Amino acid sequence: MAEIFRITGEIYREPPGANRRTLRFECGRQGFYLKLHWGVGWREIIKNFTSLRLPVLGAKNEWQAIQKLEQLGVETMQLAGYGQTGLNPARQQSFVITEELAGCTSLEDYCRDWPEKPPPFTQKRALIERVAEMARRLHENGVNHRDLYICHFLLQLPWDGRDESLHLHLIDLHRVQIRKRTPLRWVVKDVGSLHFSSMEIGLTQRDLLRFLRVYFRQPLRQILVDKAAFLKAVQQRGDALYRTQPLPEEAAE
């Protein structure tokens, strides 16, 4: 364990006061990302509980999420190692190592120019349907992401635009929650976050309806009637984020 915490590399993320660090290192010409956690402290634990939220104590949450997504057939990071030491939940040291997803770009970057340079229809349809399938598979199996923005979907390049060659990886899983059943409010938050983060990429009403049809696996007429309250809540969530939140990658910190 001590050897892992002595690994050095290029620091990728180190949120101030968060007691965690993400760095990139290489071993045998293969790139890896290492996330180190030093424990969140009792103040953070108490703050979360008083806010009726379960605290994220360390890297264990992320490696369990990776394993769960693998079971569900949702593409994500490749787990290379993980560990944890200490019984005190406020001071536990833990880590997770994942293989670098080389040659990937986030959907946020990939779709950034769509308003000025619309993609081929088949390409846009494949991406919308794949994101909807991934979100549905999570929520149907008791999983919610809590930071489900399009910047956390990594597209493997090059891609020829066909569905059968599409590889889309969901990342940034350290806040994922796993239960027997996903509470509706967390489904609303996930889908609302997706809606918010895709507001500036030129999606049409038809695109949004296509997402809903794949996500619910129901006829649109039935969705618009039966899920009206859900859709209103998602719209309100997305609009609220759009008015008040920074860019998705900043909001996820």
The count of other CB atoms within 10 Å of the CB of residue 169 is 19
User: Which pairing describes strands 93-99 and 30-37: parallel, antiparallel, or unpaired?
Assistant: antiparallel
Establish whether 109 is a catalytic residue. no
Whole-angstrom CA distances from 118 to 125, 130, 166, 210 are 12, 18, 19, 17
Short-list 163, 165, 169, CA closest to 102: 169
Query: Quick count: other Cβ atoms within 10 Å of Cβ 197?
Result: 27
Position of tokens 């997504």? 69
| Biggest CA pair distance of the chain | 58
Active-site position among 147, 160, 163, 190: 147
The phi-psi region of residue 40 (left if phi > 0; otherwise alpha if psi is between -120 and 50; otherwise beta) is: alpha
Q: Which of 94, 114, 120 is nearest to 40 (CA)?
A: 94
8 A C-beta contact, residue 107 and residue 127:
yes
Query: CB of 251 within 8 A of CB of 242?
Result: no
Q: Active-site residue numbers?
A: 147
